[in-house]
């Protein structure tokens, strides 16, 4: 079923979550071990992230360094199929522009169609780790909106090559990313909203937000979206803090702020266990408020650490 239909068919706020493919070499069981404890909260769908290649340097026999392209977390499409097969819920793969040309994107989407996957989250993707800015594949897409255009073309039965006959149109429900605290490359929130509206006008039917820790930022974002004419469901993304490292890592990596009340509590923590406890308490507080607000769905970023999400969800769903 499509994400928007799951939302339309629900009267209450629903629970969903995002998982990462395991590091190359790990088994699918590690994915099931992360999902199993969360299935009691009846997620209508599970998102699976996509990870592009990284460049690493390996020393050759002659002592020189060789640049090698490595994909550390492959398997997004296979994991989606495995999830649907095992749990009978929808899987939402993330599809990115980075590292793909249009042909490869089309092939990936055809695979998804054949697997019965009805939803995708269309993203640009971040720059490769050692690049200062995002560089699009020469025959690929520069922005998520261009990827959305391609999916919409396929939904209309238009594939890349004219010789494609008898095209069986795809029927993907497309989601896009939104940033309550603005995307880090954007000049300001208004410009970012303008580009978000372009994604919706192109055919995206729902938005999933970047994580935020201050609900007021989400409320303001929804209000600004509505004022800009963005009327699709806006699914809040939530991430429980689970380690002391998150205190500096999350603001740095995701370009988000912690509200003062939370940072005051985190400053008192001296161990990972204490930080995790604060993260759970904050997650419960945030979730309760978002349910009262009437958020369509709460979407948790597990990042391989589902235990805190389970504790939060136990108090909410």
Closest approach, Cβ 94 to ligand FAD, in A, equals 3
CA 131 to chain centre: 21
Closest approach, Cβ 286 to ligand FAD, in A, equals 16
- Residue 144 in the binding site for ligand FAD (CB under 6 A): yes
- Residue 150 in the binding site for ligand FAD (CB under 6 A): no
Closest approach, Cβ 180 to ligand FAD, in A, equals 10
- Residue 237 in the binding site for ligand FAD (CB under 6 A): yes
Closest approach, Cβ 64 to ligand FAD, in A, equals 30
Closest approach, Cβ 198 to ligand FAD, in A, equals 6
| DSSP tag of 39 | G
User: CA-CA distance, 298 to 13, in Å (whole number)?
Assistant: 7
User: Which range, of 28-36, 84-92, 139-147, 161-169, touches ligand FAD by CB under 6 A?
Assistant: 139-147
Give the closest residue to 238 by CA, choosing from 176, 182, 291: 291
Strand 173-178, strand 119-123: pairing = parallel
Q: Which residue has the tokens 């068919």?
A: 9
State which of residues 96, 174, 241, 280 lies at the interface with ligand FAD (CB under 6 A). Answer: 96
Closest approach, Cβ 273 to ligand FAD, in A, equals 28
Name the β-bridge partners of 90: 45
Q: Which residues contact 9 (CB under 8 A, 6 or more apart)?
A: 1
- Residue 126 in the binding site for ligand FAD (CB under 6 A): yes
Q: Measure Cα distances from 106 to 1, 68, 101, 222 in Å.
A: 21, 26, 9, 32
Angle at 185 between CA 17 and CA 194, to 5 degrees: 80
User: Which range, of 1-9, 58-66, 102-110, 124-132, touches ligand FAD by CB under 6 A?
Assistant: 124-132
User: CA-CA distance, 292 to 283, in Å (whole number)?
Assistant: 14
Structure-token pair, residue 133? 């800015």
User: CA-CA distance, 130 to 127, in Å (whole number)?
Assistant: 8
Instruction: Give 154 or 174: the residue with its C-beta nearer to ligand FAD.
Output: 174
- Residue 192 in the binding site for ligand FAD (CB under 6 A): yes
User: How many residues of this chain bind ligand FAD (CB under 6 A)?
Assistant: 24
Site for ligand FAD in 5-34 (CB under 6 A): none
Q: Measure Cα distances from 313 to 20, 232, 310 in Å.
A: 19, 25, 5
User: CA-CA distance, 295 to 288, in Å (whole number)?
Assistant: 10
User: Which range, of 53-61, 101-109, 183-191, 218-226, touches ligand FAD by CB under 6 A?
Assistant: 183-191
Q: Measure Cα distances from 119 to 32, 115, 213 in Å.
A: 21, 11, 27
- Residue 125 in the binding site for ligand FAD (CB under 6 A): yes
State which of residues 80, 112, 145, 154 lies at the interface with ligand FAD (CB under 6 A). Answer: 145
User: Which range, of 37-45, 58-66, 123-131, 288-296, touches ligand FAD by CB under 6 A?
Assistant: 123-131
CB-side exposure of 118: number of CA atoms within 13 Å? Answer: 12
Closest approach, Cβ 96 to ligand FAD, in A, equals 5
- Residue 137 in the binding site for ligand FAD (CB under 6 A): no
Site for ligand FAD in 195-224 (CB under 6 A): 195, 199, 208, 210
Closest approach, Cβ 191 to ligand FAD, in A, equals 6
Residues of the shown chain interacting with ligand FAD in the complex, contacts defined by CB under 6 A = 49-50, 52, 94, 96, 121, 123-126, 143-145, 177, 183, 185-186, 191-192, 195, 199, 208, 210, 237
């Amino acid at each position: 079923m499509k994400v928007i239909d799951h939302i339309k068919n629900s009267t209450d706020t629903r629970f969903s979550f995002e998982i990462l493919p395991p590091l190359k070499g790990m088994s699918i069981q590690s994915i099931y071990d992360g999902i199993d404890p969360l299935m009691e909260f009846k997620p209508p769908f599970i998102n699976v992230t996509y990870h592009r290649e990284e460049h690493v340097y390996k020393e050759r026999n002659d002592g020189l360094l060789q640049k090698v392209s490595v994909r550390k977390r492959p398997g997004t499409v296979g994991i989606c199929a495995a999830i649907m097969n095992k749990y009978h819920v929808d899987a939402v793969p993330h599809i990115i522009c980075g590292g793909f040309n249009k042909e490869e994107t089309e092939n990936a989407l055809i695979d998804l169609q054949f697997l019965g996957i009805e939803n995708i989250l269309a993203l640009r993707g971040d720059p490769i780790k050692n690049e200062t800015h995002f560089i699009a594949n020469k025959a690929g897409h520069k922005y998520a909106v261009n990827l959305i255009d391609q999916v919409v073309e396929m939904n209309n039965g238009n594939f890349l090559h004219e010789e494609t006959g008898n095209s069986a149109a795809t029927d993907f429900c497309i989601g896009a990313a939104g940033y309550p605290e603005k995307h880090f490359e954007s000049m300001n929130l208004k410009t970012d909203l303008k580009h978000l509206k372009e994604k919706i006008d192109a055919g995206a039917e729902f938005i999933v937000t970047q994580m935020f820790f201050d609900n007021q930022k989400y409320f303001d974002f929804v209000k600004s979206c509505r004022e800009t004419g963005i009327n699709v469901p806006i699914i809040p993304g939530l991430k429980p803090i689970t380690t002391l490292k998150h205190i500096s890592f999350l603001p740095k990596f995701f370009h988000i702020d912690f509200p003062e009340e939370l940072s005051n509590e985190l400053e008192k923590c001296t161990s990972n266990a204490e930080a995790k406890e604060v993260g759970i308490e904050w997650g419960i507080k945030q979730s309760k408020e978002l349910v009262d607000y009437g958020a369509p769905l709460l979407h948790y970023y597990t990042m391989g650490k589902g235990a805190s999400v389970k504790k939060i969800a136990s108090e909410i769903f």
